[in-house]
Structure 1
Amino acid sequence: MCGIFGAVSLDEEFNQKNFEKFVELTDLVSYRGPDAADYKSFNSHNKSIDRNSFNIFLGHRRLSIIDLSSEGNQPLFCDDCWIIFNGEIFNYIELREELKSKNHIFNTQTDTEVIIKIYKEYGEDGFNKLNGMWAFALYDVKNEKVILSRDRFSIKPLFLYQHSNKYFFASEIKQLLPLLSKIELQTDHFRIFLQQGLLDFDNYTLFKNIYRIPPKTNLIIDLKSKTTVEKKYWDYSDQKIEGSDDEIFLKFRELFVDSVKIRLRSDVQVGSLLSGGLDSSSITFVALQFSGQLLQTFSVISNQKKFSEEKFIDIFTRNFKVSNKKILLDSDKLKDNLDKVIEHQDEPFNYFIPVAHFNLIKALNENSDIIVILNGQGGDETLMGYLRFYFFYW
């Protein structure tokens, strides 16, 4: 997880005071990227880096996962392009080999540099080749355009505020709020939230004038023509699923195993959450096949036995002889961090999972040195683990 902030002006230029403000807004989410920080401001008209007169700002807070050296710090530059990137490209090794065969030369071991090389070889449509989760801004110096891109299923957040031919984008809503002349509620969407508990069903947020960059989409800001266009790089709506039930099950298994395997790529230690449920148990089982007994697993158990899945955790760890550390969460104290969870969420939530998840990760951070963790979050939505998901499917 990293944090990004950026600004683009198609008319009047920003100044030194704006630069200082943008640095503050980048650092507002320093907890997303504690390992490194940098800020660059560009004047696209004379191709210079300038803090006093500029029309593009890129700020980055880094959490180091791939290539821990300073070579991986951002904004990163190569091939006349700058980039700030939050996320991970899981198939970067295969893509790097493909690009090397096309005579591309790499200066780092990062997945970040791979994004730029893909863009140089295939253009914006090349982002369809990326297997990962991402939100990034790429500044093409030569062609004078800024491209904002978001992954296929909106795993990584990217918010946008547009005002008077100026575009501001960020990892979190709170980074954009200080730029608004007035903070107003998006009343129609708030009403839907109160009536149905729905959020994230379109590109609006609950704050008027702050939007989400759509998933599987590039927003291309052309500095020469002063125009913007949204362009999808991928669409699955017309792809049919064919084959017998057995063939589909085997294909699902193949994709599932590959998705776990490829997420084990990391230059820091990877662990796995083991709740005792089917999602996390399946993920942990597959991860063990590729990382062996080196994989550390962590389990959160409740002091209320009727809610505890500890017996299933014990069955798993005993059968597969895997290292496991149990962390006890006192359910009576979960609400102690409620204010902190609300602060991080930026928008309201209608169930207790974010509170429990926050406390889980907080306890994990205090009891281990693990940086990357695998978990089963999201499995119920795709596999219809609860009845409410059937209604949306129908």
Structure 2
Amino acid sequence: MCGFLGIGGKKYKEQKHNLIFSSFEWLKHRGPDQSKFFNLEKFFIGFHRLSIVGVDNKKANQPYYSKDKNFYLMFNGEIFNFKELANQWLNKFNFEKEILESDTLVLAKLIEIYGLRCLEWLDGMFSIAIVFEELGKVQLIRDRYGIKPLYYCIQNNNIIFGSHIKPIIDIHESIAPNSDAILTYLYTGLYDHSNNTFFKDIYSVNPGSIIEFDLETKRIRNENWYDIKEFTNIRNRESYNSLLEEIDETISRVILDYLPDEVECCINASGGVDSSLLINEIFSFKKNILVQNQDYKIPYSEKKWIEEYSKKLNIKPIYHLIEPDFILEDLKSTFIYQGQPFGGVTVPGYTPLYINANKQNCKVIFDGTGLDEAFLGYPRYASKNFTNNFWKNSIIGSSGPTDHRGIRPNAINTNLLKKGNLINSSIDELDGVDHARLMSMNDIAHYKIPRTTRFTDHSSSRFSLELRSPFLSHKIIHLGMSIESNLLISDKGTKLPIRDLLAKKGLPMVAYAPKRYVQSPQNEWLAKEFRDMLKNYIFSDSFYSRGWIKPEVIKEEYNLYLNSSKENSFYIWQWMSLEIWARTFLDN
């Protein structure tokens, strides 16, 4: 995990000189181990490195300059199969040992020799900038599922690009809200599902795509190097047991690749199936790893389930009890580092975990994101109405990215409805793909994973930590997508092979527990502990004056919420989140 910043345009970067260097300095939290920049004739490029692979290898410092191909490379992320790629594609060129022991240098040599077709060989998380100074061109490349962030803005035929949106905002100066993104957020609940951000004219590079901008011709070109729709072929297995073996072997190989050799790591734990499987696998390779949990008061605590595998693995997790006062204290800082509205209190809830990880000298954190989407783990994917206890208990609280219970389109201001356009980036229909798989593909490509990875990247990088999600390896995603839906969802539950695999590893109680959704007391806190703060934002003159909502409707809806069972508070969080974001970035 690192951070980079680039500006293209000779006169532009001269005019913005002070802002560029102050913005580059702000980005240092993403990589405090080494910093380097080049102020070239046409481009400024700067890089902050968090040393995880090839820690003492000075040749791996960036920006990297290719003398052979005359380009500069900046790469944020990790290539987890770089040793395998070095053996397969680079050994015959007799490179010195130092080059073959760094994922940065292996990537650079692959691009030099094979061009961008090598992207298909990578198993990793990455955002890449390739700068051609003489040609006045830059290529921006993002990994398959948008795990590593990459933003850009074209202003007066100049380009700003980087690993975080805030430096772009600061250099741009004259920013404005994106009415289309705000309308879509309020009307559908979707965000981070396209290349749009909440800022007008500032974009995110889409997952699996390449953006090329030419300073001379002012042309921008966009192409996909990866398309999830091309990986929908179902494969038949000899037996169900052979399928379980294939899943087990694939997960084990991926996790072994993802484990760092040179730095300490820790795990974000929950009591769910995915987290339990992740911890079980990691501990089969590496003992004495710090395990931490974002804990809440009963009935929101996951201690009961975490203790199940803790006993088996002889581990002592650290539980960080999250209180409302802490969230109130940390909320504004979280917004600064997130840069845009985010999902709820569990995002700042990770702050104590990451502070402690720093104290324990950890540089890498693991989490279990990805299995629900790949192996159909959400009850809403089911096309049948099952009635047993698993399904009855799982459906309670079941929600999706566009759940109508969590949005209030009736509160949207008429002017915003007229001015804005809904942003649609969904996969609507594919031959031979059933409804469950189509929903999961939308979650992976648009609805859930891109926003989740933005939250997790920006939360962890705030404390100079790299978060890794091995279940988002394309090897595991593609494996899940190759399995028939009726093998994944049945009356026994969702993502059934994953549950059966965990049960075989000695954790049946966790494996067959119903899906749990409510992760925090946010619904309660917005009615009680957060009430004064909430009113300061959603009932403020500044919020009313922005032209996004109808004041009389949100007052009515909030009063209705106070007198309800408080099952879904997302729409209230939306309103508060928008106003905090606006005050943080638009007003200042």
TM-score bin, normalised by smaller chain: 0.7 to 0.9
> Contact 1:134–1:156 at 8 Å: present in 2 too?
yes
SS in 1 for 2:104: helix
| Contact kept in structure 1, 2:267 and 2:290, CA below 8 Å | yes
- Give the aligned residue type for 1:308: S
Match of 2:264 among 250, 269, 272: 269
Measured in 2, the distance between the counterparts of 1:117 and 1:140 equals: 16
Give yes or no for the alignment of 1:65 onto 2:65.
no
Q: Does 1:89 align with 2:79?
A: yes
Do structure 1's residue 76 and structure 2's residue 64 form an aligned pair? yes
Structure-2 residue corresponding to 1:50: none
Q: Contact 1:271–1:298 (CA<8 Å) still a contact in 2? A: yes
Task: Give the deviation of 1:378 after TM superposition.
Answer: 4.3
State whether residues 294 and 320 of structure 2, in contact with CA within 8 Å, keep that contact through their aligned partners in structure 1: yes
Shift of residue 139, structure 1, vs aligned partner: 2.6
Counterpart of 1:237 in 2: which secondary structure? helix
Unaligned runs of 5+ in 2: 381-398, 401-435, 443-588
Task: Name which of structure 1's ranges 93-102 and 203-212 shifts more when overlaid on structure 2.
Answer: 93-102
Alpha-carbon distance, 1:328 to partner = 2.8
Residues 241-293 of structure 1, C-alpha deviation per residue, up to 9 Å, x if partnerless?
221583555444333222212110332112223323222111111112222x2
8 A contact 1:218–1:230 mirrored in 2: yes
* Gap change, CA 1:181 and 1:18, over 3 Å in 2: closer
Matched to 1:237, the amino acid is K
Q: Work out whether residues 274 and 297 of structure 1, in 8 Å CA contact, stay in contact via their aligned partners in 2.
A: no
Indicate if the aligned counterparts of 2:75 and 2:127 stay in contact, CA closer than 8 A: yes
Listed one character per residue, the Cα deviations across residues 146-196 of structure 1 (whole Å, up to 9, x for unaligned) are 321110000000001012221110111111112335221111220121233
**Structure 2 equivalent of residue 3 of structure 1:** 3
Query: Residue 130 of structure 2 aligns to a residue in which SS?
Result: strand
Query: 1:338-371 CA distances to partner (integer Å, 9 max, x unpaired)?
Result: 11111111111242221222343234334x2211
Residues 1:301 and 1:349: Cα distance change in structure 2 (over 3 Å): closer
Greater Rg by CA: 2
Kept after mapping to 2: 8 A contact 1:3/1:26: no
Please report how far the alpha carbon of residue 299 of structure 1 lies from its aligned counterpart in structure 2 after TM superposition.
2.4
SS of residue matched to 2:266: strand
Q: Superposition pairs for residues 1-394 of structure 1, below 5 Å?
A: 1-9=1-9, 12-14=10-12, 16=14, 18-42=16-40, 54-69=41-56, 70-78=58-66, 79=68, 80-103=70-93, 105-106=95-96, 107-108=98-99, 109-140=101-132, 145-222=137-214, 227-239=219-231, 240-244=233-237, 246=240, 249-291=244-286, 293=287, 295-300=288-293, 302=295, 304-322=297-315, 324-335=316-327, 336-366=329-359, 368-382=360-374, 383-385=376-378, 387=380, 388-389=399-400, 392-393=439-440
Conserved 8 A contact 1:60-1:74 = yes
Does structure 2 conserve the Cα–Cα contact (< 8 Å) formed by 1:35 and 1:63? yes
SS of structure 2 residue aligned to 1:160: strand
Q: What is the aligned-residue identity percentage?
A: 26
Give the TM-score, by structure 1 length.
Answer: 0.86
SS of residue matched to 2:281: helix
Q: Return the alpha-carbon distance in structure 2 between the equivalents of residues 181 and 318 of structure 1.
A: 54
Following superposition, the deviation at residue 217 of structure 1 comes to 1.3
| 1:259 maps to amino acid | V
Pick closer, same or farther for the CA change 1:315–1:152 going to 2, 3 Å. Answer: same
Distance 2:258 2:25 in 1: 28
- Quick one: which amino acid aligns to residue 41 of structure 1? N
Name the structure, 1 or 2, with higher relative contact order (CA <8 Å, separation 6+): 2
Contact in 1 for aligned 2:295/2:320 (Cα 8 Å): yes
Measured in 2, the distance between the counterparts of 1:377 and 1:356 equals 17
Inter-partner Cα distance in structure 2 for 1:225 and 1:112 = 30
220 and 303 in structure 1: CA distance in 2 versus 1, 3 angstrom threshold: closer
Q: Number of residue pairs matched?
A: 377
Aligned CA distance change for structure 1 residues 169 and 195 (closer, same or farther; 3 Å): same
Query: For 1:297 and 1:243, how far apart are their aligned partners in 2?
Result: 39
Amino acid at match of 2:251: F
1:172 and 1:228 map into 2 onto residues whose CA distance is 21
Distance 1:234 1:68, change over 3 A: same
- The structural deviation recorded for 1:386 is 5.8
Amino acid at match of 1:36: Q
Query: Of Structure 1 and Structure 2, which has the larger fraction of its residues in strand?
Result: 1
Deviation at 1:222, TM superposition (A): 4.6
Q: Call closer, same or farther: CA 1:140–1:101 in 2, change over 3 Å.
A: farther
- Give the C-alpha shift of residue 124 in structure 1: 1.4
CA contact (8 A) 1:299 1:313 kept: no
Alignment-mate amino acid for residue 92 of structure 1: F
Deviation of the 1:144 alpha carbon? 6.1
Q: Which runs of 5+ in 1 are unaligned?
A: 43-53
Distance (Å, rounded) in 2 between the aligned partners of 1:282 and 1:356? 23
RMSD: 2.6
Secondary structure, counterpart of 1:357 in structure 2: helix
Contact in 1 for aligned 2:153/2:202 (Cα 8 Å): yes
CA-CA distance at 1:102 after TM superposition: 3.2
Counterparts of 1:378 and 1:191 in 2: how far apart (Å)? Answer: 28
Q: How far did residue 59 of structure 1 move?
A: 0.8
C-alpha distance in structure 1 between counterparts of 2:201 and 2:312, whole Å? 53
CA 341–377 in structure 1, closer or farther in 2 if over 3 Å, else same: farther
Deviates more, 1:180-189 or 1:14-23: 14-23
Native 8 Å contact 1:327 1:363 kept in 2: no
